[in-house]
Amino acid sequence: MVCAIACTLVFLILTAMVASGRLLATDTAGILAVRQFASPALTMVMLAASLVAHGKLAIPLAVLLAVVIYRANGRDDALLYVGACLLGEAVHLAIKAVVRHHRPVGISPKLTDAGWYSYPSGHEMLAVIIFGLGAVLVSRWASRTVRVTAIAGAAVIIVLVGISRVYLGAHWPSDVIGALFAGLAWSAACLAWAGRHSTRGTALRAATDTQRPYSAA
């Protein structure tokens, strides 16, 4: 919950700066810096990275992860994951409708389809939820090596998706950073809620309570 609150505060501060236009110069410089590395080969890599978080591919991957989570951890974690993904998309759309931040125009070539408003990046926010939260849930009862490997792999995907959205001209850097913190806040809040309400979490707390020594009267 501490992580959820901290990420939410950072996201709110960044949102206020975006809405006030204070980051326009920084965002423009960021786009131009990324485009300095443009090449046909890198463009193909960025298109592939962006596709991973596109609904046409991300939704089937999320369904697959939900099945894996169900088989590994049971119904509670699978329902948590599905609910987090569905409600996370609704939260993302709601934020866009409120902020109404326009996409970059005339700064770099737009190499991918991008419609509606820009902040926060839907690809990036859902990448955090689908792959980041998915990795945490899939490996939460596994060995430390498996957990580190799963989370590191998800982090690589998340970073590549974020960079690709800027490189392809679809988003400002602040859109991606805001989406990152929004996704982290939402994922952390979902995990905190699950820790208090899941059957397994309740069983673990009960077992812990029975092991605590009673205080003297």
**pTM of the predicted model, to two decimals?**
0.87
The two three-digit tokens of residue 40, written as one number? 């046909």
Residues 6+ apart with CB under 8 A from 85: 62, 126, 129, 130, 133
User: What is the DSSP secondary structure assignment for residue 1, as one 8-state letter?
Assistant: -
Task: Report how far residue 187's alpha carbon sits from residue 21's, in angstroms, rounded to the nearest whole number.
Answer: 28
Contact 191, 201 (CB under 8 A): no
pLDDT tens over the chain, length 217 residues: 899 999 999 999 999 999 999 999 999 999 999 999 999 999 999 999 999 999 889 999 999 999 999 999 999 999 999 999 999 999 999 999 999 999 998 898 888 877 789 999 999 999 999 999 999 999 988 999 999 999 999 999 999 999 999 999 999 999 999 999 999 999 999 999 888 766 554 443 444 344 444 444 3
Comparing CA positions, the residue from 170, 96, 87, 74 lying closest to residue 130 is 87
135 neighbors 152 (Cβ within 8 angstroms): no
Residue spans per domain, the chain: 2-197
